[in-house]
Protein backbone atom coordinates (compact mmCIF):
# COMPACT_ATOMS: atom_id res chain seq x y z
CA UNK A 1 0.00 0.00 0.00
CA UNK A 2 1.13 3.59 -0.63
CA UNK A 3 2.00 5.43 2.59
CA UNK A 4 2.50 9.12 3.35
CA UNK A 5 5.67 10.68 4.73
CA UNK A 6 4.35 11.03 8.29
CA UNK A 7 3.58 7.32 8.48
CA UNK A 8 6.82 6.32 6.80
CA UNK A 9 8.79 8.42 9.28
CA UNK A 10 7.06 6.77 12.24
CA UNK A 11 7.74 3.30 10.84
CA UNK A 12 11.40 4.13 10.27
CA UNK A 13 11.67 5.42 13.83
CA UNK A 14 10.33 2.24 15.45
CA UNK A 15 12.39 0.09 13.09
CA UNK A 16 15.54 1.74 14.44
CA UNK A 17 14.65 2.43 18.08
CA UNK A 18 12.18 -0.20 19.32
CA UNK A 19 13.58 -3.73 19.90
CA UNK A 20 10.47 -5.60 18.72
CA UNK A 21 10.67 -3.96 15.29
CA UNK A 22 14.43 -3.44 15.13
CA UNK A 23 14.98 -7.18 15.56
CA UNK A 24 12.32 -8.07 12.99
CA UNK A 25 14.16 -8.12 9.67
CA UNK A 26 10.90 -8.28 7.72
CA UNK A 27 9.87 -4.75 8.78
CA UNK A 28 10.28 -2.24 5.95
CA UNK A 29 9.44 1.41 6.64
CA UNK A 30 8.15 1.83 3.10
CA UNK A 31 5.51 -0.89 3.62
CA UNK A 32 3.09 -0.90 6.55
CA UNK A 33 1.99 -4.39 5.52
CA UNK A 34 5.44 -5.70 6.45
CA UNK A 35 4.87 -4.82 10.13
CA UNK A 36 3.18 -7.49 12.28
CA UNK A 37 -0.30 -7.09 13.73
CA UNK A 38 -0.27 -6.77 17.52
CA UNK A 39 -2.70 -6.75 20.43
CA UNK A 40 -2.64 -6.24 24.20
CA UNK A 41 -1.51 -9.78 24.94
CA UNK A 42 1.54 -9.41 22.66
CA UNK A 43 2.66 -6.28 24.51
CA UNK A 44 1.85 -7.60 28.00
CA UNK A 45 4.07 -10.61 27.44
CA UNK A 46 7.14 -8.48 26.63
CA UNK A 47 6.66 -4.82 27.55
CA UNK A 48 10.39 -4.10 27.31
CA UNK A 49 10.53 -4.98 23.62
CA UNK A 50 7.82 -2.43 22.77
CA UNK A 51 9.44 0.55 24.55
CA UNK A 52 11.84 2.90 22.73
CA UNK A 53 15.52 2.65 23.59
CA UNK A 54 15.66 6.45 23.24
CA UNK A 55 14.27 6.73 26.78
CA UNK A 56 17.69 5.71 28.07
CA UNK A 57 17.82 5.02 31.81
CA UNK A 58 14.12 5.91 32.14
CA UNK A 59 13.16 2.78 30.22
CA UNK A 60 13.91 0.32 33.04
CA UNK A 61 11.73 2.20 35.52
CA UNK A 62 8.96 2.57 32.96
CA UNK A 63 8.92 -1.16 32.21
CA UNK A 64 8.72 -2.01 35.94
CA UNK A 65 5.78 0.36 36.40
CA UNK A 66 3.97 -0.98 33.34
CA UNK A 67 4.39 -4.54 34.56
CA UNK A 68 3.16 -3.80 38.09
CA UNK A 69 -0.43 -2.44 38.01
CA UNK A 70 -0.59 -2.25 41.83
CA UNK A 71 1.79 0.74 41.87
CA UNK A 72 -0.06 4.00 41.33
CA UNK A 73 -0.34 7.63 42.43
CA UNK A 74 -3.48 9.60 43.24
CA UNK A 75 -7.05 8.47 42.55
CA UNK A 76 -7.49 9.10 38.82
CA UNK A 77 -9.24 6.39 36.81
CA UNK A 78 -6.82 6.51 33.90
CA UNK A 79 -3.64 8.47 34.67
CA UNK A 80 -1.99 6.33 37.33
CA UNK A 81 1.68 7.35 37.57
CA UNK A 82 4.00 10.18 36.53
CA UNK A 83 7.79 10.47 36.51
CA UNK A 84 10.46 12.26 34.45
CA UNK A 85 7.92 13.76 32.00
CA UNK A 86 6.29 10.37 31.36
CA UNK A 87 2.67 9.66 32.30
CA UNK A 88 1.41 6.10 32.63
CA UNK A 89 -2.23 5.40 31.83
CA UNK A 90 -4.33 2.33 32.49
CA UNK A 91 -7.37 1.00 30.66
CA UNK A 92 -10.51 0.07 32.60
CA UNK A 93 -10.08 -3.65 31.91
CA UNK A 94 -13.50 -4.15 30.32
CA UNK A 95 -11.86 -6.51 27.81
CA UNK A 96 -10.77 -8.68 30.73
CA UNK A 97 -7.19 -7.40 30.56
CA UNK A 98 -6.28 -4.20 32.46
CA UNK A 99 -3.54 -2.67 30.34
CA UNK A 100 -0.96 0.01 31.00
CA UNK A 101 0.61 2.25 28.40
CA UNK A 102 2.60 5.49 28.47
CA UNK A 103 3.14 8.79 26.71
CA UNK A 104 5.63 11.55 27.27
CA UNK A 105 4.23 14.95 28.22
CA UNK A 106 5.30 16.32 24.84
CA UNK A 107 3.41 13.53 23.05
CA UNK A 108 0.32 14.21 25.13
CA UNK A 109 0.62 17.92 24.33
CA UNK A 110 0.89 17.24 20.60
CA UNK A 111 -2.21 15.02 20.66
CA UNK A 112 -4.13 17.48 22.85
CA UNK A 113 -3.31 20.39 20.54
CA UNK A 114 -4.67 18.51 17.55
CA UNK A 115 -7.79 17.52 19.48
CA UNK A 116 -8.38 21.15 20.42
CA UNK A 117 -7.99 22.25 16.81
CA UNK A 118 -10.73 19.80 15.86
CA UNK A 119 -13.02 20.88 18.71
CA UNK A 120 -12.58 24.53 17.79
CA UNK A 121 -13.68 23.77 14.24
CA UNK A 122 -16.96 22.63 15.78
CA UNK A 123 -17.33 25.36 18.41
CA UNK A 124 -15.24 28.52 18.09
CA UNK A 125 -16.31 29.68 21.56
CA UNK A 126 -14.82 26.64 23.30
CA UNK A 127 -11.83 27.27 25.57
CA UNK A 128 -9.87 25.26 28.12
CA UNK A 129 -11.68 27.18 30.84
CA UNK A 130 -15.20 26.24 29.72
CA UNK A 131 -14.63 22.52 29.08
CA UNK A 132 -15.56 20.32 32.05
CA UNK A 133 -14.11 16.82 31.91
CA UNK A 134 -15.40 13.67 33.59
CA UNK A 135 -12.61 11.72 31.86
CA UNK A 136 -8.81 11.94 31.89
CA UNK A 137 -8.68 14.25 34.87
CA UNK A 138 -5.03 13.75 35.78
CA UNK A 139 -3.08 12.02 38.54
CA UNK A 140 -4.89 14.00 41.24
CA UNK A 141 -8.49 14.09 40.09
CA UNK A 142 -9.97 17.57 40.40
CA UNK A 143 -13.55 16.87 39.39
CA UNK A 144 -15.92 14.68 41.45
CA UNK A 145 -16.29 11.00 40.63
CA UNK A 146 -18.94 10.76 37.85
CA UNK A 147 -19.49 7.05 38.56
CA UNK A 148 -20.88 7.64 42.03
CA UNK A 149 -24.60 7.40 41.26
CA UNK A 150 -25.98 8.63 44.56
CA UNK A 151 -28.66 11.23 43.76
CA UNK A 152 -27.21 14.01 45.93
CA UNK A 153 -23.73 13.38 44.53
CA UNK A 154 -24.95 13.58 40.92
CA UNK A 155 -26.88 16.79 41.61
CA UNK A 156 -23.79 18.34 43.23
CA UNK A 157 -21.69 17.20 40.28
CA UNK A 158 -23.89 19.15 37.85
CA UNK A 159 -24.03 22.08 40.24
CA UNK A 160 -20.27 22.27 39.78
CA UNK A 161 -20.73 22.15 35.99
CA UNK A 162 -23.31 24.90 36.34
CA UNK A 163 -21.12 27.05 38.62
CA UNK A 164 -18.15 26.76 36.24
CA UNK A 165 -20.34 28.01 33.35
CA UNK A 166 -19.06 25.10 31.28
CA UNK A 167 -19.91 25.13 27.61
CA UNK A 168 -18.61 21.67 26.77
CA UNK A 169 -18.71 18.40 28.74
CA UNK A 170 -16.32 15.49 28.09
CA UNK A 171 -17.65 12.14 29.32
CA UNK A 172 -18.66 8.53 28.69
CA UNK A 173 -22.13 8.07 27.16
CA UNK A 174 -22.89 5.22 29.58
CA UNK A 175 -22.18 7.49 32.54
CA UNK A 176 -24.21 10.42 31.19
CA UNK A 177 -27.18 8.18 30.36
CA UNK A 178 -27.23 6.96 33.97
CA UNK A 179 -27.09 10.57 35.15
CA UNK A 180 -30.13 11.36 32.99
CA UNK A 181 -32.05 8.42 34.47
CA UNK A 182 -31.16 9.58 37.99
CA UNK A 183 -31.96 13.25 37.33
CA UNK A 184 -35.09 12.80 35.22
CA UNK A 185 -37.36 13.91 38.09
CA UNK A 186 -34.96 16.60 39.32
CA UNK A 187 -34.14 18.58 36.17
CA UNK A 188 -35.69 21.70 37.69
CA UNK A 189 -32.88 21.77 40.29
CA UNK A 190 -30.30 22.46 37.59
CA UNK A 191 -29.67 25.46 35.39
CA UNK A 192 -27.28 24.46 32.62
CA UNK A 193 -27.99 27.20 30.11
CA UNK A 194 -24.27 27.63 29.36
CA UNK A 195 -23.85 23.98 28.35
CA UNK A 196 -23.99 23.50 24.55
CA UNK A 197 -22.05 20.34 23.72
CA UNK A 198 -21.33 16.95 25.28
CA UNK A 199 -18.36 15.12 23.80
CA UNK A 200 -18.73 11.36 24.13
CA UNK A 201 -15.82 8.97 24.27
CA UNK A 202 -15.20 5.46 25.57
CA UNK A 203 -18.36 3.61 24.57
CA UNK A 204 -20.63 3.03 21.60
CA UNK A 205 -24.08 4.57 21.98
CA UNK A 206 -27.36 4.24 20.10
CA UNK A 207 -29.31 6.93 18.26
CA UNK A 208 -31.97 6.53 20.96
CA UNK A 209 -29.41 7.31 23.69
CA UNK A 210 -28.13 10.30 21.70
CA UNK A 211 -31.61 11.80 21.36
CA UNK A 212 -32.43 11.09 25.01
CA UNK A 213 -29.37 12.95 26.28
CA UNK A 214 -29.57 15.81 23.75
CA UNK A 215 -33.21 16.43 24.71
CA UNK A 216 -32.57 16.24 28.46
CA UNK A 217 -29.65 18.69 28.47
CA UNK A 218 -30.65 20.65 25.34
CA UNK A 219 -27.19 20.11 23.84
CA UNK A 220 -25.54 18.71 20.74
CA UNK A 221 -23.58 15.45 20.99
CA UNK A 222 -20.05 15.23 19.56
CA UNK A 223 -18.62 11.75 19.11
CA UNK A 224 -14.91 11.26 19.76
CA UNK A 225 -13.59 7.82 18.85
CA UNK A 226 -10.36 6.86 20.55
CA UNK A 227 -8.66 4.67 23.11
CA UNK A 228 -6.30 5.14 26.05
CA UNK A 229 -3.38 3.84 24.01
CA UNK A 230 -3.59 6.53 21.30
CA UNK A 231 -6.22 8.98 22.58
CA UNK A 232 -8.34 10.52 19.82
CA UNK A 233 -8.55 8.75 16.47
CA UNK A 234 -11.63 10.42 14.99
CA UNK A 235 -14.20 13.07 15.87
CA UNK A 236 -17.62 13.87 14.48
CA UNK A 237 -18.20 17.15 12.69
CA UNK A 238 -21.22 19.46 12.84
CA UNK A 239 -22.81 17.32 10.14
CA UNK A 240 -22.56 14.26 12.39
CA UNK A 241 -19.92 12.42 10.34
CA UNK A 242 -17.01 10.76 12.17
CA UNK A 243 -13.75 11.87 10.49
CA UNK A 244 -10.44 10.08 11.06
CA UNK A 245 -7.72 12.47 12.24
CA UNK A 246 -4.90 11.60 9.86
CA UNK A 247 -2.47 13.87 11.71
CA UNK A 248 -2.73 11.60 14.75
CA UNK A 249 -3.35 8.08 13.46
CA UNK A 250 -3.53 5.75 10.51
CA UNK A 251 -6.48 3.33 10.64
CA UNK A 252 -6.76 0.01 8.81
CA UNK A 253 -9.72 -2.35 8.60
CA UNK A 254 -8.93 -6.06 8.31
CA UNK A 255 -11.16 -9.06 7.69
CA UNK A 256 -11.13 -12.31 9.68
CA UNK A 257 -8.23 -13.57 7.55
CA UNK A 258 -6.11 -10.47 8.31
CA UNK A 259 -6.57 -9.14 4.79
CA UNK A 260 -6.84 -5.36 4.39
CA UNK A 261 -10.32 -4.15 3.42
CA UNK A 262 -10.19 -1.47 0.75
CA UNK A 263 -13.89 -1.41 -0.14
CA UNK A 264 -16.29 1.13 1.32
CA UNK A 265 -19.19 -0.07 3.51
CA UNK A 266 -17.35 -3.33 4.25
CA UNK A 267 -17.12 -4.05 8.02
CA UNK A 268 -13.78 -5.06 9.47
CA UNK A 269 -11.65 -5.15 12.61
CA UNK A 270 -9.97 -1.86 13.53
CA UNK A 271 -6.16 -1.67 13.69
CA UNK A 272 -4.53 1.64 14.54
CA UNK A 273 -1.05 3.09 14.11
CA UNK A 274 -0.20 6.18 16.15
CA UNK A 275 1.72 8.85 14.25
CA UNK A 276 2.67 10.65 17.49
CA UNK A 277 3.67 8.10 20.13
CA UNK A 278 7.38 7.28 20.12
CA UNK A 279 8.20 6.36 23.74
CA UNK A 280 5.56 3.61 23.62
CA UNK A 281 4.73 3.25 19.91
CA UNK A 282 1.41 1.79 18.78
CA UNK A 283 1.82 0.10 15.39
CA UNK A 284 -0.95 -1.93 13.70
CA UNK A 285 -2.60 -2.39 17.08
CA UNK A 286 -5.95 -4.17 17.35
CA UNK A 287 -8.44 -2.00 19.24
CA UNK A 288 -11.13 -4.69 19.56
CA UNK A 289 -13.63 -2.55 17.62
CA UNK A 290 -15.42 -3.15 14.34
CA UNK A 291 -16.00 -0.40 11.79
CA UNK A 292 -16.44 0.45 8.12
CA UNK A 293 -15.38 3.37 5.93
CA UNK A 294 -18.38 5.05 4.31
CA UNK A 295 -18.79 6.97 1.08
CA UNK A 296 -20.05 10.32 2.34
CA UNK A 297 -19.59 13.73 0.81
CA UNK A 298 -19.26 16.08 3.77
CA UNK A 299 -19.38 19.86 3.48
CA UNK A 300 -17.66 20.45 6.83
CA UNK A 301 -14.06 21.66 7.18
CA UNK A 302 -12.62 18.36 8.40
CA UNK A 303 -10.64 16.49 5.75
CA UNK A 304 -10.22 12.96 7.13
CA UNK A 305 -12.08 9.93 5.72
CA UNK A 306 -15.44 9.16 7.31
CA UNK A 307 -15.62 6.03 9.43
CA UNK A 308 -18.59 4.38 11.13
CA UNK A 309 -17.91 2.49 14.36
CA UNK A 310 -20.18 -0.54 14.64
CA UNK A 311 -21.97 -1.62 17.79
CA UNK A 312 -20.22 -4.49 19.55
CA UNK A 313 -16.57 -5.22 20.24
CA UNK A 314 -14.54 -8.38 19.85
CA UNK A 315 -14.84 -9.00 23.59
CA UNK A 316 -18.65 -8.89 23.21
CA UNK A 317 -18.73 -11.78 20.73
CA UNK A 318 -20.54 -14.78 22.20
CA UNK A 319 -18.19 -17.73 22.06
CA UNK A 320 -19.15 -21.20 20.86
CA UNK A 321 -21.42 -20.11 18.00
CA UNK A 322 -20.89 -20.70 14.29
CA UNK A 323 -21.94 -17.12 13.46
CA UNK A 324 -21.03 -13.73 14.94
CA UNK A 325 -23.40 -12.56 17.67
CA UNK A 326 -22.52 -9.59 19.87
CA UNK A 327 -23.65 -10.22 23.42
CA UNK A 328 -24.19 -6.57 24.28
CA UNK A 329 -26.44 -6.06 21.25
CA UNK A 330 -28.38 -9.29 21.82
CA UNK A 331 -29.00 -8.75 25.52
CA UNK A 332 -30.02 -5.11 25.13
CA UNK A 333 -32.77 -6.27 22.74
CA UNK A 334 -33.76 -9.14 25.03
CA UNK A 335 -33.98 -6.79 28.01
CA UNK A 336 -36.08 -4.29 26.07
CA UNK A 337 -38.53 -7.05 25.15
CA UNK A 338 -38.55 -8.44 28.70
CA UNK A 339 -39.30 -5.03 30.20
CA UNK A 340 -42.08 -4.49 27.63
CA UNK A 341 -43.76 -7.87 28.19
CA UNK A 342 -43.31 -8.33 31.95
CA UNK A 343 -44.25 -5.38 34.19
CA UNK A 344 -41.80 -6.51 36.89
CA UNK A 345 -38.98 -6.05 34.36
CA UNK A 346 -39.17 -2.31 35.00
CA UNK A 347 -37.68 -3.02 38.44
CA UNK A 348 -34.32 -3.95 36.89
CA UNK A 349 -31.85 -1.45 38.30
CA UNK A 350 -28.69 -3.39 37.59
CA UNK A 351 -27.92 -6.41 35.44
CA UNK A 352 -24.68 -7.82 34.07
CA UNK A 353 -24.52 -10.86 31.83
CA UNK A 354 -21.19 -12.59 31.26
CA UNK A 355 -20.04 -15.80 29.59
CA UNK A 356 -17.63 -17.63 31.96
CA UNK A 357 -17.49 -20.75 29.75
CA UNK A 358 -18.35 -21.68 26.17
CA UNK A 359 -21.62 -23.26 27.28
CA UNK A 360 -22.81 -21.03 30.10
CA UNK A 361 -23.88 -17.52 31.05
CA UNK A 362 -23.85 -15.79 34.42
CA UNK A 363 -26.69 -13.35 35.13
CA UNK A 364 -26.13 -10.94 38.02
CA UNK A 365 -29.14 -8.79 38.87
CA UNK A 366 -30.62 -6.66 41.66
CA UNK A 367 -33.26 -8.13 43.96
CA UNK A 368 -36.95 -7.29 43.50
CA UNK A 369 -40.35 -8.98 43.56
CA UNK A 370 -40.77 -11.51 40.72
CA UNK A 371 -37.06 -11.28 39.84
CA UNK A 372 -37.04 -15.04 39.12
CA UNK A 373 -39.88 -14.62 36.62
CA UNK A 374 -37.98 -11.86 34.84
CA UNK A 375 -34.74 -13.86 34.78
CA UNK A 376 -36.55 -16.91 33.36
CA UNK A 377 -37.90 -14.78 30.53
CA UNK A 378 -34.37 -13.57 29.76
CA UNK A 379 -33.16 -17.19 29.72
CA UNK A 380 -36.00 -18.33 27.45
CA UNK A 381 -35.43 -15.49 24.97
CA UNK A 382 -31.66 -16.11 24.94
CA UNK A 383 -32.10 -19.80 24.13
CA UNK A 384 -34.67 -18.92 21.48
CA UNK A 385 -32.44 -16.32 19.79
CA UNK A 386 -29.23 -18.38 19.94
CA UNK A 387 -30.88 -21.74 19.21
CA UNK A 388 -28.52 -23.39 21.70
CA UNK A 389 -29.13 -24.86 25.14
CA UNK A 390 -26.76 -22.77 27.28
CA UNK A 391 -26.52 -23.27 31.05
CA UNK A 392 -27.37 -20.28 33.26
CA UNK A 393 -26.15 -19.32 36.72
CA UNK A 394 -28.08 -16.62 38.59
CA UNK A 395 -26.72 -14.30 41.30
CA UNK A 396 -28.93 -11.82 43.14
CA UNK A 397 -26.82 -8.83 44.21
CA UNK A 398 -27.29 -6.73 47.32
CA UNK A 399 -27.55 -2.95 47.12
CA UNK A 400 -24.08 -2.57 48.62
CA UNK A 401 -22.55 -4.87 46.01
CA UNK A 402 -24.32 -3.04 43.18
CA UNK A 403 -23.13 0.33 44.48
CA UNK A 404 -19.56 -0.97 44.58
CA UNK A 405 -19.82 -2.40 41.06
CA UNK A 406 -21.17 0.84 39.63
CA UNK A 407 -18.56 2.95 41.36
CA UNK A 408 -15.73 0.79 40.05
CA UNK A 409 -17.03 0.34 36.51
CA UNK A 410 -19.65 2.15 34.48
CA UNK A 411 -20.70 -0.74 32.23
CA UNK A 412 -23.94 -2.61 32.78
CA UNK A 413 -24.08 -5.12 29.96
CA UNK A 414 -20.99 -7.10 29.09
CA UNK A 415 -20.53 -10.47 27.45
CA UNK A 416 -17.08 -11.98 27.95
CA UNK A 417 -15.20 -15.18 28.54
Q: What is the pLDDT of residues 80-98, one digit of tens each?
A: 899 999 999 988 666 556 7
Same domain? 306 vs 266: yes
Same domain? 304 vs 335: no
Task: Give me the number of domains the chain comprises.
Answer: 2
User: In the chain, which residues have pLDDT < 50?
Assistant: 409-417
Q: What is the pLDDT of residue 416?
A: 34
Q: Residues 132-161: pLDDT tens digits? A: 998 765 565 667 788 888 999 999 999 999
322 in a domain, yes or no? no
Same domain? 346 vs 384: yes
Same domain? 364 vs 265: no
Domain stops at, among 260, 279, 311: 311
Same domain? 210 vs 299: yes
Domain stops at, among 311, 336, 366: 311
Domain that holds residue 303: 1-311
415 in a domain, yes or no? no
Same domain? 177 vs 295: yes
278 in a domain, yes or no? yes
Same domain? 269 vs 335: no
318 in a domain, yes or no? no
Q: Label each residue of the chain as H, E or C.
A: CCCCHHHHHHHHHHHHHCHHHHCCCCCECCEHHHCCCECHHHHHHCHHHHCCHHHCCHHHHHHHHHHCCCCCCCCCCCEEEEECCEEEEECCCCCCCCCEEEEEHHHHHHHHHHHHHHHHHHCCCCCCCCEEECCCCCCCCCCCCCCCCCHHHHHHHHHHHHHCCCCEEEECHHHHHHHHHHHCCCHHHCCCCCCCEEEECCCCCCHHHHHHHHHHHCCEEEEEEEECCCEEEEEECCCCCEEECCCCEEEEEECCCCCECCCCCCCEEEEEEECCCCCCCCCCEEEEEEEEECCCCCCCCCCCCEEEEEEEEHHHECCCCCCCCEHHHHHHHHHHHHHHHCHHHHHCCCEEEEEEECCEEEEEEECCCCHHHHHHHHHHHHHHHHCCCCEEEEEEECHHHHHHHHHHCCCCCCCCC
Same domain? 288 vs 398: no
Pairwise CA distance, residues 292 & 308, whole Å: 5
Same domain? 307 vs 339: no
Q: What is the pLDDT of residue 142?
A: 66
Domain stops at, among 311, 336, 364: 311
CA 214 from chain centre, in angstroms, equals 20
CATH of the domain at 263: 3.40.50.12780
Contact between 397 and 365 (Cβ < 8 Å): yes
Q: Residues 273-283: pLDDT tens digits? A: 999 999 999 99
CATH of the domain at 357: 3.30.300.180
CB neighbourhood size of 155 (10 A): 15
Q: What is the pLDDT of residue 26?
A: 87
320 in a domain, yes or no? no
pTM, rounded to two decimals: 0.86
Amino acid sequence: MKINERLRSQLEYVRQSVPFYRDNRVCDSSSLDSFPLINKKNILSEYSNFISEDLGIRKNKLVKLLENPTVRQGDSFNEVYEFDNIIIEQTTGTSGIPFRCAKTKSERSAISLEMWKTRRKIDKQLTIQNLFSFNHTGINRENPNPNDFNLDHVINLYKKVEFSKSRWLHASPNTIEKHVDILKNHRDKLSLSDLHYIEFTGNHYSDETKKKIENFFNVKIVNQYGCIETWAMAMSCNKGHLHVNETLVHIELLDDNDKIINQLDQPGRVFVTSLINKAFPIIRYQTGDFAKFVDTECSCNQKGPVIQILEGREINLIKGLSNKVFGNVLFHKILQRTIFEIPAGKNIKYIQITQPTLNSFLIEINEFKDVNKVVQEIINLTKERLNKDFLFEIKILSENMIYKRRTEKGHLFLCKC
